[in-house]
Amino acid sequence: MGINNQNITIKKSTTTKINEVDFSNLSFGENFTDHMFECDYIDGEWTNAQIRPYGPISLDPSAKVFHYGQAIFEGMKAYKSVDGAVWLFRPEDNLIRLNKSAVRLAIPEFPKDLFFDGMELLLNIDKEWIQTTEGSSMYIRPFIIATEPGVSASPAKRYKFMFILSPAQSYYSGEVKVLFADKYSRSASGGVGFAKCAGNYAGQFYPTKLANDAGYQQVVWTDSSTHENLEEAGTMNVFFRVGDTLITAPTSDRILDGITRKSVIAIAEKAGYKVEIRDVSVYEIEEAAKNGTLLEMFGAGTAAVINPIVSFNFKGNDYDLPKLENSYASIIKKKITDIQTGKAEDPFGWKYAVRSI
Amino acid sequence: MGINNQNITIKKSTTTKINEVDFSNLSFGENFTDHMFECDYIDGEWTNAQIRPYGPISLDPSAKVFHYGQAIFEGMKAYKSVDGAVWLFRPEDNLIRLNKSAVRLAIPEFPKDLFFDGMELLLNIDKEWIQTTEGSSMYIRPFIIATEPGVSASPAKRYKFMFILSPAQSYYSGEVKVLFADKYSRSASGGVGFAKCAGNYAGQFYPTKLANDAGYQQVVWTDSSTHENLEEAGTMNVFFRVGDTLITAPTSDRILDGITRKSVIAIAEKAGYKVEIRDVSVYEIEEAAKNGTLLEMFGAGTAAVINPIVSFNFKGNDYDLPKLENSYASIIKKKITDIQTGKAEDPFGWKYAVRSI
């Protein structure tokens, strides 16, 4: 195997679940392929790299991930053409971000060669699972968890890195109405908001549930000090179109440096749109909604790529956004997904060809 | 069994590890008893309550605890007298706080009867592990984790509750020097700082490691907006003695409502000390250190009970605290531990007698 230079042990499954999966009707993140990659951090090094049949992992009940939350992840997608070529979208950016998250969570960084060899071997082994029909992709979930036993609050000495794969379809979340947060918060200055760590998600579930109960699908988080600046939506970065200008908050230690966000900015700039990366005040957006200059809001993230927002609520008042033909959201989404799926040229060099074994 | 009214299944271990444990030389949280309690939340109810031999648990690699951090816990202690009586310290407060954490993390609350029956049955079964020598206790770790598989960011529908038990000695952490945080933060207003959730701990490890490398054992966290108010130390609440007044920050959505903290306040007030529960400015404490009125600082938490602090660093300047005879810390610690261990009367009604089977 030309791409396995890392002594990854391979144990293949003797059966496949592929015929049990209805690829035309997939729920996001619920089906997993026949194999998984795992690698353990023991005595100061990543070791025991292996691909084996997908299945449960066994941990001591005192494993630190259960008690002290050292857990980070990434989300990526692979695509396959009808001639069998497989590629990824900006995968090195995911590895760089994973390792930034690792540093902040006191988790050892994961080596680049092992990341790529492990992921590409696994994608080759489960290649049949990557569909070529319109909108299909393979969602890739790399993650690291603290496995060392012991209920004392200190960084673990043992970890497990894994890749698991989940086939995905294009994601339509329905009409998205959002609530601007004015009480609850996602992250603090000096905290872990920029890291893709497990705890950032659990903290959002309860306030999101309150928003859901009130008829809003997502919360747009504001800064925790003043609740005056719009930051991100927890699983998406957020863009605002005021007049012909596209505005999004700068990344900070409170905001995830989204890869789709960066791609939206690059594509918008290349398309000649005016893009401003600066603090976005809730009052500015409310005023723009009132005077009719707020034309669009949308979220940007790996799962949905671009998720248009149809209305927002701020301090009890609802504001609807206009329904536009040829919205920036639809134009930018098409440009990104055409690159991702190979329908258009990739002038940015974002596609990474997965090596064949 | 008179205390098992909850249909808890019991499967006893055929062997014991008790003879492998050096009870005179225990590291905190590293040894566990022969049995554990577990209970699963499935289809909207807590079910399958059982006590079985301590051992690994098996989870799907996509289990939500690994990815989205729904994980909460408590820390409690049991004590045993030479005549075999076993008791707990303010256990209902732990259950109340566990369920407050549960609500904030969108985890189902755990029922009181099952909590007490499960814990007391387990303590009876592993009673031999509770030592009666000076300073001995049984550390009890209840925790809940999200077990449902699936890599979509939403609250799980399945959870596991567990009790695990770890024998403990009195805890001496050495001389504790602390750093007042002026860059990193533990929690945000509107966030999860008051909850005993896993993610709150992982976020502290990296800044604590930086502090350790600089020669400080712990960080005293300040508010994330201004870094001007002293809040808590992550595994301890913090008290300041200025002149004859004991001062501690009020609890808030950023600060854990510590049971040892509450007990310190009650004992100090009963002893006739002046206690102020109010915002504590870093500048006030720095000024008190400079003019000699800052007499003590100490942490309060379940593991160490009271942890005296010998010096603090604020923005690069170190301030030593005086070494006092008959410090408030030593007097209050003796009063609490005498109640906990049964050496003194319990005028507060804090002790809870564990029922025998």
Domain membership of residue A230 (yes or no) is: yes
Among A170, A189, A215, where does a domain finish? A170
CATH of the domain at A15: 3.30.470.10
Q: A-chain residues within 8 Å CB-CB of B141?
A: 62, 67, 151
Distance from CA of A125 to the nearest CA of B (A): 18
> What's residue A2's pLDDT?
62
CATH of the domain at B250: 3.20.10.10
Most B-contacting residue of A31, A59, A65, A66 (CB-CB within 10 A), to test interface: A66
Among B128, B151, B170, where does a domain finish? B170
Tell whether A93 and A27 lie within a shared domain. Answer: yes
Residue A4 has pLDDT above 80, yes or no: no
**Cβ proximity of B295 and B324 under 8 Å:** yes
10 Å CB burial of residue A2 (0-12, 13-18, 19+) is exposed
**Token pair of B47 as six digits:** 């079910």
Domain membership of residue B158 (yes or no) is: yes
What span, in angstroms and rounded, lies between the C-alpha atoms of A234 and A88? 23
Which residue on chain B is closest to A104 by alpha carbon?
B206
Its domain, for residue B214, covers 176-341
Q: B-chain residues within 8 Å CB-CB of A57?
A: 58-61
Tell whether B203 and B334 lie within a shared domain. Answer: yes
Tell whether B135 and B268 lie within a shared domain. Answer: no
Distance from CA of B13 to the nearest CA of A (A): 17
User: Does B185 sit within 8 Å of A189, measured CB to CB?
Assistant: yes
List pLDDT tens digits, range A43-60: 999 999 999 999 999 999
Tell whether B215 and B256 lie within a shared domain. Answer: yes
What span, in angstroms and rounded, lies between the C-alpha atoms of B206 and A349? 34
Find the helix or strand (DSSP H, E) in which B261 lies. Answer: helix B259-270
List pLDDT tens digits, range B38-85: 999 999 999 999 999 999 999 999 999 999 999 999 999 999 999 999
Q: Which amino acid is at B298?
A: F
ipTM of the complex as predicted: 0.97
User: Does B197 sit within 8 Å of A184, measured CB to CB?
Assistant: no
Domain membership of residue B135 (yes or no) is: yes
User: Does A191 sit within 8 Å of B29, measured CB to CB?
Assistant: no
Mean pLDDT confidence for A111-135:
96
Residue A150 has pLDDT above 80, yes or no: yes
What span, in angstroms and rounded, lies between the C-alpha atoms of B26 and B135? 12
User: Does B60 sit within 8 Å of A58, measured CB to CB?
Assistant: no
> What's residue B3's pLDDT?
72
Tell whether A227 and A295 lie within a shared domain. Answer: yes
Which residues, in sequence order, are CB contacts of A119 under 8 Å at separation 6+? A37, A88, A91, A140, A142, A163
Domain membership of residue A110 (yes or no) is: yes
> What's residue A6's pLDDT?
79
Tell whether A15 and A164 lie within a shared domain. Answer: yes
Tell whether B35 and B60 lie within a shared domain. Answer: yes
Query: Each residue of B189-206: b (16+ CB within 10 Å) or e?
Result: bbbbbbbbbbbbbbbbbb
User: Does B199 sit within 8 Å of A202, measured CB to CB?
Assistant: yes
Distance from CA of B241 to the nearest CA of A (A): 27
Average pLDDT of chain A, as a whole number: 96
Q: B-chain residues within 8 Å CB-CB of A189?
A: 185, 224-225
Residues in chain B with pLDDT values less than 70:
1-2
Tell whether B111 and B220 lie within a shared domain. Answer: no
With both helix axes pointing from N to C terminus, report the angle between A259-270 and A328-341 in degrees, rounded to the nearest 10: 110
Backbone angles phi, psi at A253, to 5 degrees: -75, 0
Tell whether B144 and B238 lie within a shared domain. Answer: no
Distance from CA of B293 to the nearest CA of A (A): 31
> What's residue B114's pLDDT?
97
Q: DSSP per residue over B52-112, as a string?
A: EES--EEE-TT-HHHHH--EEE--EEEEE-TTS-EEEESHHHHHHHHHHHHHHTT-----H
User: Does A225 sit within 8 Å of B189, measured CB to CB?
Assistant: yes
Most A-contacting residue of B144, B197, B206, B219 (CB-CB within 10 A), to test interface: B206
List pLDDT tens digits, range A295-348: 999 999 998 899 999 999 999 999 999 999 999 999 999 999 999 999 999 999
User: Does A67 sit within 8 Å of B71, measured CB to CB?
Assistant: yes
Tell whether A331 and A225 lie within a shared domain. Answer: yes
10 Å CB burial of residue A152 (0-12, 13-18, 19+) is middle
The count of structural domains within chain A is 2
High-pLDDT (> 90) share of chain B, %: 95
User: Does B162 sit within 8 Å of A199, measured CB to CB?
Assistant: no
Comparing CB atoms, the residue among A106, A186, A202 nearest residue B68 is A202
Tell whether B336 and B228 lie within a shared domain. Answer: yes
Domain membership of residue A108 (yes or no) is: yes
Which residues, in sequence order, are CB contacts of B188 under 8 Å at separation 6+? A185, A186, A187, A188, A191, A224, B224, B254
Comparing CB atoms, the residue among A32, A192, A201 nearest residue B68 is A201
- Alpha helix (H) residue ranges in chain A: 64-68, 91-104, 112-125, 198-213, 259-270, 282-291, 328-341
User: Does B198 sit within 8 Å of A149, measured CB to CB?
Assistant: no
> What's residue B303's pLDDT?
86
User: Does B190 sit within 8 Å of A181, measured CB to CB?
Assistant: yes
Tell whether A164 and A227 lie within a shared domain. Answer: no
User: Does A30 sit within 8 Å of B202, measured CB to CB?
Assistant: no
User: Does A67 sit within 8 Å of B65, measured CB to CB?
Assistant: no
Domain membership of residue A56 (yes or no) is: yes
Domain membership of residue A2 (yes or no) is: no
High-pLDDT (> 70) share of chain A, %: 99
Domain membership of residue A249 (yes or no) is: yes
Which residue on chain A is closest to B75 by alpha carbon?
A151
> What's residue B2's pLDDT?
62
Comparing CB atoms, the residue among B69, B162, B183 nearest residue A198 is B69
What span, in angstroms and rounded, lies between the C-alpha atoms of B77 and B157? 30
Among A117, A143, A170, where does a domain finish? A170
Q: Which amino acid is at B23?
A: F
